[in-house]
Amino acid sequence: MRKVTINDIAKAAGVSKTAVSFAFNDPSQLAQATASHIREVAEQMGYTPDPVARSMTTKRTNALGLLLPQDIAKVMENPFYTEFMRGVGKVCGQVGRTLMLVPPLWGSTLEAIPHAAVDGFIVLGLEIDRGEVQLMRQRRIPFVIVDSEALDDMPSVNVDDYSGAHAIMTHVLSKGHRHVAVIGIESGKTGFDQYTGTLAARLAGYREALAAHHLSFDHRNVQFVEAPSSWEGGQMAFERIWSRECRPTAIVAMSDILAIGALETAKAQQVSLPEELSIAGFDDLPEARHIRPALTTVRQPTEEKGRIAAELLMASLENHQAVAHYVLPTEVIIRKSVVRPYQDRIEQPKQTLHNQKVKITR
C-alpha cells in the first residue's frame, strides 16, 4: 500500500499542509479543536510522522544523549550505569523524550558527538580539559556534566567523593590495617597525581586518611594499581597486587565493580575472606549486599544523580533555569567484607604466587 503523506491528511481534514505540520510539530500555532481534528484524521488513515523529516522541521530530535566513557557492551556489565540510567529514564518518561546511548565511536568520544542525533548530552565521567567539551561549546549543544569538575557556565551533578573516600579509608585503617592496596580507575594519565575531577577527589580522601595514620602512597606498605572500571579490571588488579611479596591485608577500590571483581577472584584463588583480606568499594551497587562476604562500601545516590542530570538538561533545553551545581551526599555502609587483620599477616608477608611484576604508579 502507498504510504500516507501529509498531503493526504490535509485533503481528508480540509486543511493546509502547513496546518498538518503544525498539528504534529507545534500545536500551539493552531486552535486546540483543529489540532485534535487533524490528529484524529491522521490516526484513522494510519499516518505516522517521519522522524527525520520532523526533526528537520522542529530542529529537535526529542532524544537525550548519554555520552559514555566506554563501549556499550562494557558499560552494560557495570550495574552502576543501570542505576544511573534508571534515574535518567524516569525523567524521559515524564517529559516524553527518548534516551540515546552514545558510546565512543572508533574508540573516540570526540568522534561520537557529531554523529549523535540528540538535543543535548549528559556527559558522564569525562574530564573537562578534553576536546569533547570544547566541541559541544562550539556547536552550542546543551550538556550537563556528571562525575567531573564543575564548569561555571554549565550545570553539573557530583557526589561528595572526597568525604566518601576519606570515610571508607578511615574505617579500614580503624580496623588496624597498615598494609593497604588502592585500586584506582584507569584514567589514561601517566600518573595518579594527574587525576582530575571525581578521581582526584577520591584520591585526596584516601590520601588524607592515610596521612592521619602516618602512611602515604610513597610508603612501602601502600600500593596503588590502576585498572579499567570493570569486573575484569578488578580481577587483573587483584592478580597484580597479590603477586607482590608484601601483600596487603586490605584492598580499597574506587568502584564497587572493581571491588567485586577483586573479591570474587580472591575467593577463586582460595584466599580466606575477610579474615585474610578485607575489601571495600565505592558506589553501593545492588550486588554489593548480595555477594559473600557482603561488601563494605560508600553509598552514593546513583539513581538520584541520573534523575537530577536529566532534569538539568531539560531545563537547559527549555531555557527555564540558570546554571545549577549539585553535590550529593555519600555515606559508608558497613557490612562483612572488612574486619581486623591477622597480626601475623602484618609481620610476615607470604610468598608470591608467580613472578609477575607490578608497576606502581607514583
> Do 270 and 154 belong together in one domain?
no
Residue 192: DSSP 8-state: G
> Do 271 and 179 belong together in one domain?
yes
For residue 352, what pLDDT is reported? 38
> Do 191 and 338 belong together in one domain?
yes
> Do 86 and 153 belong together in one domain?
yes
Exposure on the CB side of residue 224, measured as CA atoms within 13 A: 19
Q: What CATH number is attached to the domain comprising 338? A: 3.40.50.2300
Domain of 129, in residue numbers: 63-159+302-327
Residues ≥6 apart with Cβ < 8 Å to 318: none
> Do 77 and 52 belong together in one domain?
no
> Do 94 and 191 belong together in one domain?
no
31, burial (CB in 10 Å: exposed 0-12, middle 13-18, buried 19+) = exposed
Give the separation between CA 99 and CA 92, rounded to whole angstroms. Answer: 7
> Do 210 and 282 belong together in one domain?
yes
Of the candidates 279, 271, 236, the residue with the CA atom closest to the CA atom of residue 254: 279
274 in any annotated domain: yes
> Do 323 and 239 belong together in one domain?
no
For residue 350, what pLDDT is reported? 46
For residue 349, what pLDDT is reported? 47
For residue 236, what pLDDT is reported? 97
> Do 248 and 339 belong together in one domain?
yes
1 in any annotated domain: no
| Residue 223 β-bridge partners | 181
3-state SS class at 1: coil
26 in any annotated domain: yes
For residue 348, what pLDDT is reported? 47
For residue 359, what pLDDT is reported? 34
Q: Which amino acid is at 23?
A: A
For residue 66, what pLDDT is reported? 94
For residue 343, what pLDDT is reported? 63
For residue 215, what pLDDT is reported? 96
Strands (E), 244-316: 250-253, 278-280, 297-299
For residue 218, what pLDDT is reported? 93
170 in any annotated domain: yes
> Do 144 and 224 belong together in one domain?
no
The residue out of 38, 58, 78 marking a domain boundary is 58
Block means of pLDDT (10 residues each) for the chain, 362 residues, are: 81 90 81 90 81 57 89 89 95 92 89 89 82 86 90 90 97 96 87 83 96 95 94 96 94 97 97 96 95 97 96 87 88 96 56 35 30
For residue 238, what pLDDT is reported? 98
The residue out of 29, 58, 87 marking a domain boundary is 58
272, burial (CB in 10 Å: exposed 0-12, middle 13-18, buried 19+) = exposed
> Do 323 and 339 belong together in one domain?
no
How many domains are there within the chain? 3
